[in-house]
Amino acid sequence: MKEEKRKIQLTGGSTFTISLPIKWAREAGIKQGDELSLIQRDDKSLLITPVKAKKEQMNCAELTLIEDEELEGNFRFLIAHYLVGYDIVKLLSPKGFSAEERKWIKEEVRKRLIGMEVVGESAREIILKSFLKYEDFTLQDAIRSMSKIILSMQGDAIATLRKNDSNLADDIIERDDEIDRFYLLIVRQLKAAMSDPELAKKIGVDRQRESLGYRIIVKSMERIGDHVENIARNSTMIKVPEDAIKKIEKIGNNVRGLFIKTLDALSTMDIEKANEAIKDANSLTEESEAISEQLLREEQGADKIHALSVLQSLGRMAKYCEDIAEVTINMGIRGAEE
């Protein structure tokens, strides 16, 4: 609908009234006596929504799998439908699903998409439905759960540097799947909140501009999880002198402490603590690079490549903490319109 202008009328000496565009009213299906919801946004604009349209409704989509595409490639399309908020997705296969394909899809849905379940299937169709309500699991709940898993992984990854425990390393790698699940859930929440200010407040996003900030934050957290996984993969193959192990452990513990400080700053919107975290991140990055250069100068054989990979991941984790701290500062400063 093109922009239309309406003049404000004064009714009864104390009430302002404005007429609604008839085309919009017809398309929205509203009639005399219906209720409208008015929500004031931060920029002083009003969001007008028919109340009946706000009742729970299921958004459905059909996704026909591309025959010459691998299952993982097709699954990315399903993830995209999940992220934009579809509640029901019908997966269609023109040639029919094999037993292996059906099993793989079910396992991946359970492993990667929180709240999505298989509710029906036939030879050529698999029906998926989301049972998770946004307000039942707020943004802060999801970030808190994601943070706890990352902290647990970090602690265990540092321990594997000395224990050389392959079972613990494998467990850390598996836990990274949980990080990815929460990341996708939060992105789904934030996308929904962008178009629904009332929902945004229910899940804990007080200002719409915060959605972009949280999107950057959870992406940084997801990348931190990936680097912890990389540390776990390399930890059992490190063969460097004891003094080098101690230095790597020290940086690992300091990076974990930096992540905790960053989370504290975010939870309280403490911009001074966030600024301190940025300074700490820069120091840790320089320290990890210095140790890497020292290892490169020494004749330690091919095995040092695993230690260098761990140090690189620790440096990247510090940088991602810096990114989170910078976003915290940006969100902690109130906008001019506020």
**Residue 171 pLDDT > 60, yes or no?**
yes
Are both 169 and 306 inside the same structural domain? yes
C-alpha 226, offset from chain centre: 13
Q: How many residues does the chain have?
A: 338
121 in the same domain as 179: no
Residue 62 pLDDT class (50, 70, 90 cuts): very high
What per-residue confidence (pLDDT) applies to 301?
A: 56
Q: Considering the domain boundaries, does residue 1 fall inside one?
A: no
pTM: 0.81
Q: Which of 77, 96, 130 is the last residue of a domain?
A: 130
CA-CA distance, 160 to 146, in Å (whole number)? 21
Q: What is the mean pLDDT of residues 220-235?
A: 95
Q: How does the average pLDDT of the chain come out, rounded? A: 88
- Residue 158 has a CB neighbour count (10 Å cut-off) of 23
The DSSP string of 31-65 is -TT--EEEEE-TTS-EEEEEGGGGS----EEEEEP
Structural domain including 159 reads 135-332
CATH number for 26: 2.10.260
Residues 229 and 317 in one domain: yes
Mean per-residue pLDDT, 4-33: 83
Most confident of 34-48, 64-78, 269-283: 269-283
Give yes or no: residues 44 and 65 share one domain: no
Give yes or no: residues 67 and 115 share one domain: yes
At which of 104, 130, 156 does a domain end?
130
Q: What is the CATH number of the domain that holds 124?
A: 3.30.110.20
Residue 226 reports pLDDT greater than 90: yes
Helix spans in the chain (H): 22-28, 71-83, 99-112, 139-163, 166-195, 197-203, 210-235, 242-268, 271-297, 304-332
For 168, which DSSP code? H
State the average pLDDT over residues 61-88: 92
Residues 39 and 95 in one domain: no
Instruction: Output the domain CATH number for residue 145.
Output: 1.20.58.220
Number of domains the chain contains? 3
C-alpha dist (Å) from residue 291 to 152, 192, 288, 300:
25, 44, 5, 14
Average pLDDT over residues 62-81: 92
Query: Are 160 and 234 members of one domain?
Result: yes
Residues 316 and 270 placed together within one structural domain of the fold: yes
What's residue 336's pLDDT? 47
Inform me whether the pLDDT recorded for 19 exceeds 80. Answer: yes
Are residue 95 and residue 19 in the same domain, yes or no?
no
Q: Is residue 25 part of a domain?
A: yes
Range 53-81 average pLDDT: 85
Q: Tokens representing 202?
A: 């229910």
pLDDT tens-digit profile of 247-295? 999 999 999 999 999 999 999 999 999 999 999 999 999 999 999 998 8
- In terms of Cβ atoms closer than 10 Å to its own Cβ (0-12, 13-18, 19+), residue 116 is buried
67 and 30 within one domain: no
Select the more confidently predicted residue: 257 or 2.
Answer: 257
Mean pLDDT of 136-144: 87
176 and 50: one domain? no
Contact (Cβ atoms closer than 8 angstroms) between residue 79 and residue 113: yes
Average pLDDT over residues 95-123: 93
In a domain, residue 337? The reply is: no
The answer to whether residue 2 sits within a structural domain is: no
DSSP state of 305: H
Final residue belonging to a domain, choices 130, 152, 184: 130
Q: Tell me the β-bridge partners of 90.
A: 62, 127
Confidence band of 337 (pLDDT split at 50, 70, 90): low
CA distance 304 to 240: 6
Average pLDDT for 61-74: 91
Q: Are residues 48 and 107 in the same domain?
A: no
